[in-house]
Amino acid sequence: MFFAVDPKTLKQSFYDSLHCSLSAYSNCVHVSKCIHRWLIEYHELRLGYSHQHHDVPWSTDIVEDDPEVLGNAKQIGCDCGLYTIINPILLQEGVALDIFGTTTKEKDSSSIEMRRRLALSLLYNTNYFQVDKSKIQTDDTKKRRLEELCNVLKPKKSRRTSD
């Protein structure tokens, strides 16, 4: 889970890969309040005048936590770290979070694709989360890329030379 914040409006988006609401986590409510207060105080310290919304108190109304509105996928198993790494990257790059599907079933099964792309991104030091919609891969292409990745990761057989 993580927060995305618009510092101009103080609006927050709470992304939770378990699709829980902000109120389900008391520690996250506390963090959200601290973010709100920090944005107001930092604005005044940095710029020397009050934030235009300095008088707006924190409330759940300024935090969007509906996964359907936000478009974030639901994790399967223990993928919270994966989602915490990938979703901010997608948001920063301006890529829609529905990159892995738009239906509930597609979003629920997206963790395999997320793992694959994260591995490729780390392996080749490039962003494998940018999608050219005109070149959407077929299942055969995905299978071939996965096999290529597996071949790269296979340990190489050592060659023994005889003396």
Tokens of 58: 């924190």
What is the model's pLDDT at position 155? 47
With CA atoms as reference, report the closest residue to 148 among 118, 122, 116, 113.
116
The residue extents of the domains of the chain are: 1-70
Do residues 1 and 72 lie in contact, with contact meaning Cβ atoms separated by under 8 Å? no
State the SS3 of 69-134.
HHCCCCCCCCCHHHHHHHHHHHHHHCCCHHHHCCCHHHHHCCHHHHHHHHHHHHHHCCCCCCCCHH
Mean pLDDT by 10 residues, the chain (163 residues): 89 86 89 94 93 94 89 69 77 73 70 79 80 52 58 49 49
> How many other CB atoms are found less than 10 A from the CB of residue 129?
19
b/e per residue 74-86 (b: at least 16 CB within 10 A): bbeeebeebbeeb
What is the model's pLDDT at position 108? 64
What is the model's pLDDT at position 19? 78
Q: What is the CA radius of gyration of the chain?
A: 21
Number of residues written out for the chain: 163
What is the model's pLDDT at position 18? 77
